[in-house]
Structure 1
């Protein structure tokens, strides 16, 4: 795994985009602080830039480095969540502008899956994560269902867990600083 992480880090540090296994589905990713790499993802997915992407962080400490103010309830939600949970936060900071939604929010998930977590820790920055499909197409249920267009459009395909079945996408909850909680996807 360490050798694979080092290969991926090389690609990410050069502004490349990767296809990689996450704690939920196979994702297309890049360094969340690199606007040019994020543009490549939007182009590959043929996705409107008004549709926000999410980011993965390694732990609560990293989460706090990229959100102006994390609401206290977020820690309890994440601690007790039965499945991977993405929380949409107000006022993200220190990420590329084109990864932030028009309403100045950003979905972030603390990723516990071993490969992703180690990769993010070594990168020392959040990793963009979006499903491995062209916008409007169904999300692939396994690596084998990823379209040739996506496979050929990334700079590197992670050579791990390609035979593992995907789990379902994460739950998504929006937490506003005014205390409002909205469930976007269960």
Structure 2
């Protein structure tokens, strides 16, 4: 029974990754709430996600990764102390706003900032998606602006219905609130 569950989850991840490569928006469980994700380098997919959430591009979006190796290009200009701070908290429920002076990440992800918000997740579904996709994914709460973030797949489907290319099954992590967002350089907390 356990092996069937693992193989069906693998199949769902595989199907979801295909949808991501085709420019789709998917929903998946994260550390505290359900998230929406897409390929951050596909402008049309990001525009669709922003329209679904009714969120302005200027606010920027969070990126999620399976490992520090997946975000390594963004870490090149950091001091040893800054890297150590990231590595001490990742993988885990910490989102860091990191400078992107070489514009490695598209403006439609950064919003009005020259920095980008990034998390290396320990959540098994998020890790599986990023590993299978081969890189970073957009990770934003699954809710239209001004609505409560979805805490289950039913709420996700209620909010977005057939606008989603896939819904990856799985359980939420053990965090009570969405991850903290903190600026690596200034220490400013954007979301506690």
Question: TM-score surpassing 0.5?
Answer: yes
Cα 1:166/1:25, change in 2 over 3 Å:
farther
Q: Work out whether residues 31 and 174 of structure 2, in 8 Å CA contact, stay in contact via their aligned partners in 1.
A: no
Distance 2:190 2:105 in 1: 23
Alpha-carbon distance in structure 2 between the residues aligned to 1:116 and 1:35: 21
Name the structure 2 match of 1:85: 94
Instruction: Give the TM-score normalised by the residue count of structure 1.
Output: 0.85
Distance 1:170 1:138, change over 3 A: same
How far off its partner does 1:103 sit?
2.0
After TM superposition, the score normalised by the length of structure 2 is 0.83
CA distance in 2 between partners of 1:18 and 1:129 (Å): 10
Change (3 A) 1:78 1:136: farther
* Residue aligning to 2:155: 145
The residue number in structure 1 matching 2:115 is 105
CA contact (8 A) 1:18 1:158 kept: yes
Any runs of at least 4 consecutive aligned residues in structure 1 with deviations exceeding 2 A, and if so which?
65-78, 80-83, 92-97, 140-147, 159-162, 164-167
8 Å CA contact retained: 1:30, 1:38 = yes
**Uncovered stretches (5+) of structure 1, i.e. residues with no partner:** none
Query: In 2 relative to 1, CA 66–151 (structure 1 residues): closer, same or farther, beyond 3 Å?
Result: farther
Post-superposition Cα deviations, 1:98-149, rounded to whole Å, max 9, x if no partner, equal: 1112121110000111121122112112010111110121223333433623
CA offset at residue 181 of structure 1?
1.6
Runs of 5+ in structure 2 lacking a partner?
A: 1-8
1:169 aligns with 2:169: no
Deviation at residue 166 of structure 1 after TM alignment: 6.7
Paired residue for 1:16, among 14, 17, 24?
24
TM-superposed deviation, 1:77? 4.6
Using the alignment, how far apart are the partners of 1:66 and 1:24 within structure 2? 25
Aligned to 1:132: 142
Which residue does 1:40 correspond to in 2? 48
CA RMSD of aligned residues (A): 2.5
